[in-house]
Chain A
């Protein structure tokens, strides 16, 4: 089955700890995205990548880092510099054209303990 897979589904982070969220797609999509979802705020873009080995900051990139070494993978690291990381994180991918819709993974819920 083609799709986009996020893991883990739930993640707990201690104060001062870095954690990495996985996002893998087998749709052969060029573009990949990370969004953060908080209640009442909709989806806010963290990072996006239009092509392998290239990525751009979104609206709330501080405290996060990404890599795009392979077309199918776009992991997100939440660093200790992110002061309020508790949220629902969504990864998405799309083909390379503007008129293409994005496909979303099932999300990772990160909680600071």
Chain B
């Protein structure tokens, strides 16, 4: 069965420091992977996706993510965190051998401290 795990409920990082939000996945085939961000009482906004090709994917607002097939991971990264990056982050997976469903992780709350 398809699944996504975000092992950290919360990540705290100082402004200006690099940040990493972790995601691991389980699918039967080659995954399509997505990252979204959610601000309070709002919908999710798309940040980036991995489909195929280069393992380092660049997205919106300076975020990037690294796909690692051997570790079945897709960690979200940013070289220098901003206070405005504080939000809830979701990783999602789609299995092209499966259904059209997006399977989401439980979310990681990122807190960037000034």
Please give the residue numbers on chain A whose beta carbons come within 8 Å of chain B beta carbons, in ascending order.
4, 6, 31, 33, 35, 40-43, 45, 48, 50, 56, 58, 88, 90, 92, 98-99, 101-107, 109
Contacts and interface: CB of A to CB of B under 8 A. Distances in A.
B44 A90 contact: yes
Interface stretch (B12-20, B70-78, B101-109): B101-109
A99 B49 contact: yes
B51 interface: yes
Contact of B41 (A48, A92, A107): A107
A70 B112 CA distance: 43
B90 interface: yes
A81 B96 CA distance: 34
Contacts of B45: 104
A102 B102 CA distance: 8
Nearest to B102: A102
A107 B43 contact: yes
Most chain B beta-carbon contacts within 10 A, residue among A42, A48, A50, A107:
A42
Contacts of A88: 41
B22 to A, nearest CB: 15
Given A42-B107, A48-B101, A107-B42, 20 more contacts: A31-B100, A33-B102, A41-B106, A42-B90, A42-B105, A42-B106, A43-B90, A43-B104, A45-B103, A92-B43, A98-B96, A99-B51, A102-B44, A102-B102, A103-B46, A104-B36, A104-B44, A104-B45, A106-B43, A109-B41
Most chain A beta-carbon contacts within 10 A, residue among B44, B90, B103:
B44
Most chain B beta-carbon contacts within 10 A, residue among A6, A40, A102, A109:
A102
